[in-house]
Chains A and B, each alone.
Chain A
Amino acid sequence: QKEVEQDPGPLSVPEGAIVSLNCTYSNSAFQYFMWYRQYSRKGPELLMYTYSSGNKEDGRFTAQVDKSSKYISLFIRDSQPSDSATYLCAMDTGRRALTFGSGTRLQVQP
């Protein structure tokens, strides 16, 4: 069993839709939770970083962490074609050795 599970998609939505991306994890030692966006053939770009359970909002993006269920989510409001990319969840125990999910490919149709 992988430490971090993420549905690979692809996920196709119309422009303007609300997108929900999710990861589950098994390691209770994970303390830090991140979402990265990766465009094709580029390096991952940090979108959101959270430490505690609860919600964190930044513009159109909301990150949600539920440590009791070992479940994290990223919501994208008013999705745009430019949001089309692969979204990676990543987690860290504090050792700065990130464990990534396999990524969800998102396609926003104009």
Chain B
Amino acid sequence: DAGVTQSPTHLIKTRGQQVTLRCSPISGHKSVSWYQQVLGQGPQFIFQYYEKEERGRGNFPDRFSARQFPNYSSELNVNALLLGDSALYLCASSLEETQYFGPGTRLLVL
């Protein structure tokens, strides 16, 4: 079975731009969560979606938004990029309590 897939793998943007990251969950998983991992730190929770509804939100500014589609895939959008948004963005899918992570999208903001 295919695991969680994310696209693109790498991305370079400049300050002020907008970015959209994509995630496809494991087949049969209805919940998708997004995390930001800054170099040298553990991942930080951004959003959780279940059945297309936002079920949880971490301590991130309104520049971060997400949505989940009827096929359970998800997009994370970040507006007005800052240098500090440079990080590995991870998507995780879950059926129950355990979350399985994708390979991540590495975003560099210049």
Q: Are A34 and B90 in contact (CB under 8 A)?
A: no
A46-B48 contact given A96-B56, A101-B42, A102-B42, CB 8 Å threshold: no
Which residues of chain A have a CB within 8 Å of any CB of chain B? Answer: 4, 6, 8, 32, 34, 36, 41-46, 49, 51, 88, 90, 92, 94-103
Q: Are A43 and B99 in contact (CB under 8 A)?
A: no
Q: Smallest CB-CB separation from A8: which chain B residue? A: B40
Please report the C-alpha to C-alpha distance between residue A92 and residue B56 in the assembled complex, in whole angstroms: 12
A-B contact count (CB 8 A): 67
Interface size in chain B (residues, C-beta < 8 A): 28
Q: Are A96 and B104 in contact (CB under 8 A)?
A: no
A97-B106 contact given A34-B98, A43-B101, CB 8 Å threshold: no
* Contact pattern, B 78-98, Cβ under 8 Å of A = 1, otherwise 0: 000000000010101010011
Tell me the minimal C-beta distance from A26 to chain B in angstroms.
15
Option from A4, A49, A97 in Cβ contact (under 8 Å) with B56? A97
Q: Are B44 and A100 in contact (CB under 8 A)?
A: yes
